[in-house]
C-alpha cells in the first residue's frame, strides 16, 4: 500500500462512481471520500459514521452490516461506523488507508455494491451532521506569516513581526467545549471592554466581532507522554483536515491579551465543517514549502526532506450573508480568498512542535492553523485585516458595509483543491449566524 503522502489509483481523474452526482462538478467526487458523522434529520437514530459521495452520504453502519470487506479494510470500516471517528483516528493510518481503497473500489461505476444503493445512501439534504470526533483538546496556531505581519503592523508599525515568529510555531490552547459543527448559531459574546482614555473597563457585548479563516487538523494516532513525535513520523499521527472559523471578539482581546494571550475573546465559539478530508485525498495537492531566499532554516527537529513537500495547496474563501441580503433574496458576497500553500508552517511541523516537550496528543485532538491570509490585500483572512482595524469599512453593495460583524450576519467558509489533470475535491462549508447577545 502506498505511503500516506503518495498518490495511487484512487486519485485517477478518470474514475467514475455509480452515484451519479459524484460524477458532476462538486466537492465530493469519488476521488475525495471524506469522513463524517450523521443521522437522518428528524429522527432519534444513533449517529454513525458516513462518507460524502456526491450529494449523498454512504451509511457506513449499514455497509458494515453487509460485511463487504476483509482484513484491515474491514477493521477500518467497523471503527468508522461508530458514533464518532475517534476510534478510526486512533487506529493510525493503515486501517484508514485500506478502508479508503476499499470504498473507492466499491463505489466505482459497475461495482456490485450499486445494487444495494437504496439502503446504503442517504441524501445529504436529509442528513443531520454532528461533530465528527469528540475533541479533547484544541490548540490554535498562528501559522500564516502574512496574517501575523498584517495584524502586527496595526499595533506595531515599526516592528510588526516579533522575533520568535520565524523560529517557533506559535500557538495558544483553546476551549474544546466551545467547538461546534457547521450550522450551529451562537449569541454575541460578552466580556470586559476598555473605553478610550482613562475610563475604567465595562462589561458588555463585543462590538468588534470577527471571523478567522482557518483549517482544522485532526490528530489521528496519539503520542506517548514524554516522547516527541519526530517530523518524519508526524503525518502518521494526522488524520485529516476540515474548515475552521475561530470567531474572535477583538475589543475583548485588546484589553485582556497581555500578558498571557487570548482568553474570553476566543473561547466562546469555534465552528468546524462536518466532513474531514483525509491526508490521502489531499495527496495530489501537495506542494513545496515556500519561503523566500535568505530566511532562516527551521531548527533541525522542524526540518527534513519529507517536510519540504509537506505543504498543501488548499484554496480558502470567506463569504458573508447579511440579514438584509436574506430578506432581499440577494446572494452572499465573497469577502476574501487565500491558500494554505502560503502558510509558514506545515501541519506536520505544528504537530511535531506540539509534542517536542513531551505533551501527550490524543486521537480527535484538533489543531487550528490560525488565520490563513495571503500576501495580497484581498487575501486577508479576517475583518481585522480587511478593514485595517475597523478604520476602513468594507463595502458590500446596495448601501451595506461592515467593519466588524453585526447580528444576523452569516459567515460561510469554503475550501477546495484545484490542479490541472486532477479532479477537484472540496471541504463543503463551515457556517454559522451571529445571534443577538443574551440578556445580561
251-279 pLDDT tens trace: 999 999 999 999 999 999 999 999 999 99
User: Model confidence over 34-57: pLDDT tens digits?
Assistant: 999 999 999 999 999 999 999 999
The answer to whether the CB of 204 falls within 8 A of the CB of 264 is no
Residue with grid cell 474548515, as numbered in its chain: 243
Average pLDDT over residues 348-374: 98
Q: What is the reported pLDDT for 3?
A: 53
The set of long-range contacts for 153-160, using a CB threshold of 8 Å and a minimum separation of 24, is: 154/384, 154/388, 154/389
Q: What is the pLDDT of residue 60?
A: 98
CB atoms within 10 A of CB 327: 9
pLDDT at position 2 is 44
pLDDT of 4: 60
Q: Determine whether 147 is an active site residue.
A: yes
Residue range 4-27: average pLDDT? 94
Q: Where in the chain is the domain with CATH 3.90.850.10?
A: 138-435
Secondary structure (3-state) at 383: helix
Residue 172 in contact with residue 165, Cβ under 8 Å?
no
For residue 1, is pLDDT > 60?
Answer: no
Element (DSSP H or E) covering residue 352:
helix 347-355
| CATH numeric code, 9-130 | 2.30.30.230
Is 25 exposed, middle or buried, given 0-12, 13-18 or 19+ CB atoms closer than 10 A? Answer: exposed
pTM: 0.97
The residue among 79, 117, 121, 86 whose CA lies nearest residue 100 is 79
Outline which parts of the chain fall under CATH 2.30.30.230: 9-130
Which residues on neighbouring strands pair with residue 219, listed in sequence order?
238
What sign has the CA pseudo-torsion 19, 2, 415, 412?
positive
Q: Which helix (H) or strand (E) holds 133?
A: none
138-435 is classed in which CATH architecture?
Answer: Alpha-Beta Complex (3.90)
Residues 6+ apart with CB under 8 A from 90: 220, 221, 222, 362, 363, 364
pLDDT band at 322 (very low <50, low <70, confident <90, very high): very high
Q: What's the whole-number mean pLDDT along residues 337-360?
A: 98
Active-site annotation holder among 11, 126, 146, 147: 147
Amino acid at each position: 500500500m502506498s505511503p500516506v503522502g503518495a498518490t495511487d489509483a484512487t486519485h485517477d481523474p478518470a474514475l467514475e462512481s455509480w452515484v451519479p452526482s459524484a460524477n458532476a462538478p462538486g466537492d465530493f467526487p469519488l476521488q475525495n471520500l471524506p469522513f463524517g458523522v450523521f443521522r437522518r434529520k428528524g429522527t432519534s437514530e444513533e449517529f454513525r459514521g458516513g462518507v460524502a459521495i456526491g450529494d449523498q452520504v454512504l451509511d457506513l453502519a449499514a455497509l458494515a452490516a453487509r460485511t463487504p470487506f476483509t482484513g484491515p479494510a474491514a477493521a477500518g470500516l467497523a471503527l468508522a461506523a461508530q458514533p464518532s471517528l475517534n476510534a478510526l483516528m486512533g487506529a493510525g493510518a493503515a486501517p484508514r488507508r485500506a478502508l479508503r481503497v476499499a470504498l473507492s473500489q466499491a463505489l466505482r461505476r459497475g461495482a456490485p455494491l450499486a445494487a444495494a444503493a437504496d439502503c446504503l445512501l442517504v441524501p445529504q439534504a436529509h442528513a443531520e451532521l454532528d461533530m465528527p470526533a469528540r475533541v479533547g483538546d484544541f490548540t490554535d496556531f498562528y501559522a500564516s506569516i502574512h496574517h501575523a505581519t498584517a495584524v502586527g503592523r496595526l499595533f506595531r508599525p515599526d516592528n510588526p513581526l516579533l522575533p520568535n515568529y520565524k523560529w517557533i510555531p506559535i500557538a495558544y490552547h483553546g476551549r474544546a467545549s466551545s467547538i461546534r459543527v457547521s450550522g450551529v448559531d451562537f449569541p454575541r459574546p460578552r466580556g470586559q471592554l476598555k473605553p478610550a482614555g482613562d475610563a475604567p473597563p465595562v462589561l458588555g457585548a463585543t462590538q468588534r466581532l470577527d471571523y478567522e479563516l482557518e483549517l482544522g487538523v485532526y490528530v489521528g494516532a496519539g503520542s506517548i507522554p514524554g516522547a516527541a513525535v519526530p517530523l518524519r513520523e508526524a503525518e502518521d499521527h494526522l488524520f485529516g483536515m476540515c474548515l475552521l472559523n475561530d470567531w474572535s471578539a477583538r475589543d475583548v482581546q485588546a484589553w485582556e491579551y497581555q500578558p498571557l494571550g487570548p482568553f474570553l475573546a476566543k473561547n466562546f465559539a469555534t465552528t468546524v465543517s462536518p466532513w474531514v478530508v483525509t491526508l490521502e485525498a489531499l495527496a495530489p495537492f501537495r506542494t513545496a514549502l515556500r519561503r523566500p531566499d535568505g530566511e532562516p532554516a527551521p531548527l533541525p527537529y522542524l526540518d527534513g526532506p519529507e517536510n519540504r513537500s509537506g505543504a498543501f495547496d488548499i484554496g480558502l474563501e470567506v463569504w458573508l450573508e447579511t440579514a438584509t441580503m436574506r430578506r432581499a433574496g440577494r446572494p452572499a458576497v465573497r469577502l476574501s480568498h487565500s491558500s494554505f500553500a502560503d502558510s509558514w508552517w506545515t501541519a506536520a511541523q505544528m504537530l511535531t512542535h506540539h509534542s517536542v516537550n513531551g505533551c501527550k496528543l490524543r486521537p480527535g485532538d484538533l489543531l487550528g492553523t490560525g488565520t490563513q491570509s495571503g500576501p495580497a490585500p484581498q487575501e486577508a483572512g479576517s475583518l481585522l485585516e480587511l478593514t485595517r482595524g475597523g478604520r476602513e469599512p468594507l463595502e458590500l453593495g446596495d448601501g451595506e458595509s461592515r467593519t466588524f460583524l453585526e447580528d444576523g450576519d452569516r459567515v460561510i467558509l469554503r475550501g477546495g483543491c484545484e490542479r490541472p489533470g486532477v479532479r477537484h475535491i472540496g471541504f463543503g462549508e463551515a457556517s454559522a449566524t451571529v445571534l443577538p447577545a443574551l440578556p445580561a
